[in-house]
A and B are shown apart, each in its own frame.
Chain A
Amino acid sequence: MNAPGPGGVVDARGLRCPIPVLRLAKAAAGAADGAEIEVWATDPAAEPDIRAWARMRGHTFLGAAPLEATKHDDDGDHRAAVVVKVRVSRST
C-alpha cells in the first residue's frame, strides 16, 4: 500500500458494519474527484462492503491489505486490521 492520496484516512477500527462504510461515504462526499481514501478497519465485513459500495457508487476499489503493525495504536485492540483503499469519482 502506498502513501495515502489527498483524500486521507478514515480510521474505523473497532467499528461494526455499516459504520465503516458510512464514515467512508462521509469522507468521500467532501473529497475531490480522483482523491484516494484509505479506510482502516477491524470489522471483517468492511472489505467486501467497501468493494460493493464502490461498485454501487461508481468509485474505484483499489485494493485491501493487512494494516502494518506500526499503525496499531495502544488501546489494546489487537484484532487483525486491514487497510482498504478507494479512489473517489465525482463524475457518476
Chain B
Amino acid sequence: MLLEAAGHAPWHPAAREAFSGLVDQGWADPRRLSAEGRRARLLLEAARESLAAGLGARTDEVRLTASHTQSLHAAVRGVVRGRRRSGATVLASAVERAAVLAAGRFAGELETVAVDAFGRVDAAAMAARLAGQGSTGQEAAGQGGVALAALQHANGEVGTVQPVEEVGAAARDAGVPLLVDAGSSLGHVPAPSTWDLLAANPGDWGGPSGVGVLAVRPRVRWSPDWPEDEDEWFPGGVSVPAAFAAAAALDAALADRRESEVRRRRQVARIRARVAAEVPDVDVVGDPEDRLPHVVTFSCLYVDGEALTSALDREGFAVASGSACTSGAEEPSHVLAAMGALTHGNVRLALHRSVTDEDVERFCDVLPGVVARVRDLLGAQGL
C-alpha cells in the first residue's frame, strides 16, 4: 500500500485518459507550422490555460517545464541574473526544498532564515532582512542586496504551512520578487495568492512526471543564464501529452478537492493521534493544525530509519524517510535538523487521494509492533 505519494502520486484516471488521447493528437512539435504542429500547439495552449486557472494565474504567466526541480532552478538562476545590479543574495527559509537552496548557492549567495519547532519560518526576521535591517544568522552571506526571496507555500516534509502573505508583503515593500514553491500544496489546498514566481508540481496532484509548471508575473526582472532558445525560459519545450495530462489531472483534483481535503485531514489527524499515543518515544512533527491535509511525519527514538522503512515495506506499507541512514544519504533531512526534530527513525507519509480509512487503521495497527521489533534489534529496550 502506497503511503508516500509526495511528488509522485499514482496517476489520476483523468490524467491517464488525457494522455492516451494525446498520444495520437499531440505528438507533433508545437513549433511547426504543419497541421499536426498547429494541433499540438493548440492543445499545449489549452493545457496552459487550464493550468493557469488552477494556479490563479494568467495564461501568459504560465511556463511549462520538464520537472519541478527544473522550474525551481530556472526561477532562482533567471532572477539572480536579471537582478544582479540589485544584489546577489537569495534569501530563503532554512526548510526550502533542496533544489531551491542548491540553486541559491549555485547562482548567488544563499542566506537562510531560521524556523521554529514546527518548521515555520521566522516571518519577522525574514521581513526585517528584506527591509535591510540586520542579519538573519544561519547561512548568512553578509548584508548584500537581496535578488530573490524564496518561501514555500507549505513544507512537503512536515506539512507546516508558511506565512507567505506576511513575507510577501515585506518582499513587495522592499521591491524584491518572491518565489513561492507550491510543489507540495497545489491540488491539495487553495493556491497561494501572493507570489511573483509560483512553482507547482503535477506529479504531486496525480499528473505525469516529466512536466513542471512555473508562473511568472510580468513585472519580474529576469534574464536567462543559459543559451537562448525560442522557449526562453525552458529551452526545447515540453512534452505536449504530459502537459495536457497534467492540466486534466489538476482540473479533476480541484473538482473534488474540498472533499478530498476533509477526508485526508481526518486521516492525518487520526495517524498523528494514534502514533503519539501508541508508539513510545516518538516525535510527531509539524504544526498540528495549520498544515497540509495529506502529509504526516514522525521520528522514533532509537530506531534505524532504514530498518524501519524496510520492515514496513515487508508489512506492505511503502513509506518515505528523512533519515540519513535511509537511501544512503550522508546528511539527514535539513528540514528536520533545522526545526530541532529527531532525524533518525523518521517516517514520512503523503496520503494520495485513494487512501482509505481502513488503510490508515491497518497502518496504525501494525506500526507499534514494527517499531518495537526494530528497537529490540538495536538493544534499545529500557533506555
Which residues in A have some Cβ–Cβ distance to B below 8 Å?
Answer: 16-19, 21-22, 25-26, 29, 43-45, 48-49, 51-53, 55-56
Question: Are A48 and B302 in contact, with the CB atoms below 8 A?
Answer: no
Are A48 and B380 interface neighbours, CB within 8 A? no
User: For A52, what are the chain B residues with a Cβ–Cβ distance below 8 Å?
Assistant: 283, 299, 340-343
Does A56 lie within 8 Å of B344, measured CB to CB?
no
13 contacts between A and B (CB under 8 A): A17-B323, A17-B324, A18-B325, A18-B344, A22-B378, A22-B383, A25-B383, A29-B383, A45-B331, A45-B337, A48-B343, A49-B342, A49-B344
Identity of the chain B residue whose Cβ is nearest the Cβ of A26 in the assembled complex:
B383
The answer to whether B304 touches A17, judged by C-beta atoms less than 8 angstroms apart, is yes
- Assess the B378–A44 pair: CB atoms within 8 A: no
| Cβ of A51 to closest chain B Cβ, rounded Å | 6
Excluding A22-B302, A22-B380, 5 further A-B contacts by CB distance (< 8 Å) are A17-B324, A17-B325, A21-B302, A22-B383, A43-B324
Please give, as numbers and ranges, the residues of chain A lying within 8 Å of B302 by CB-CB distance.
18, 21-22, 25
**Given A48-B332, A53-B301, A18–B283 Cβ distance below 8 Å?**
no
Residues A56 and B324 in contact, CB atoms below 8 Å apart: no
Are A55 and B324 neighbours in the complex by a CB distance under 8 Å?
A: no
B314-349 contact mask (Cβ, 8 Å, vs A): 1 or 0: 000000000111000011100011001111110000
A48 lies within 8 A of B336 (CB) = yes
Q: How far is the CB of B172 from chain A (nearest CB, A)?
A: 34
Residue of A nearest to B285 (CB): A52
Q: Using a CB-CB cutoff of 8 Å, which residues 327-383 of chain B contact chain A?
A: 330-332, 336-337, 340-345, 378-380, 382-383
When A and B form their complex, which 7 residue pairs have the shortest distance between CB atoms, in order from nearest? A18-B344, A17-B344, A52-B342, A48-B337, A45-B332, A25-B383, A45-B343
The residues of B with any CB-CB pair to A shorter than 8 Å are 281, 283, 299, 301-305, 323-325, 330-332, 336-337, 340-345, 378-380, 382-383
CA distance A26 to B380 in the complex (A): 9
| Least CB separation from A24: chain B residue | B383
User: By the criterion CB–CB under 8 Å, are A44 and B331 in contact?
Assistant: yes
- Provide the residues of chain A in CB contact with B336, threshold 8 Å: 48
Q: How far is the CA of A55 from the CA of B342 in the complex (A)?
A: 10
Across-interface contacts of A19 in B (CB, < 8 A): 378
Helix, strand, loop or mixed for chain A's interface? helix
B301 touches A21 (CB 8 A): yes
Shortest Cβ distance from residue A62 to the other chain B in the assembled complex, whole angstroms:
15
Contact B344 A45 (CB under 8 A): yes
CA distance A19 to B337 in the complex (A): 17
Q: Which residues in A have their C-beta under 8 angstroms from that of B330?
A: 44
Chain B: minimal CB distance from A54 (Å): 10
A19, A25, A48, A51, most chain B CB atoms within 10 A: A48
Cα A18 to Cα B281 in complex, Å, equals 14
Distance (whole angstroms) from the CB of A56 to the closest CB of chain B: 6
Partner of B304, one of A18, A43, A51, A56: A18
Q: A45-B324, A48-B340 are in contact. Are A18 and B345 (CB under 8 A)?
A: yes
A17 to B325, CA, bound (A): 6
Q: What's the minimum C-beta distance from B64 to chain A, rounded to whole angstroms?
A: 37
> Which residues of A have CB within 8 Å of B379?
22
| Distance, CA A54 to CA B82, complexed state (A) | 46
CB-defined contacts of B323 to chain A, threshold 8 Å: 17, 45
Cα–Cα, bound, A24→B218 (Å): 55
Closest Cβ–Cβ distance, residue A65 to chain B (whole Å): 17
Q: Which of B303, B324, B342, B345 has the most CB of A within 10 A?
A: B342
In contact, B340 and A44 (Cβ under 8 angstroms): no
A56 to B299: give the CA distance in the assembly, Å.
11
Tell me, rounded to whole Å, the shortest Cβ–Cβ distance linking B260 to chain A: 33
Known A-B contacts A45-B332, A48-B337, A56-B281; the reply to A17 vs B343 at CB < 8 A is yes
CB of B383 within 8 A of CB of A17, answer no
Shortest beta-carbon distance from A59 to chain B in Å: 12
Contacts of B299 in A (CB 8 A): 52
**B304: A residues at CB distance < 8 A:** 17-18
Collect the chain A residues with CB atoms within 8 Å of residue B301's CB: 18, 21, 53, 56
Q: Which residues of A contact B283 (CB under 8 A)?
A: 52, 56
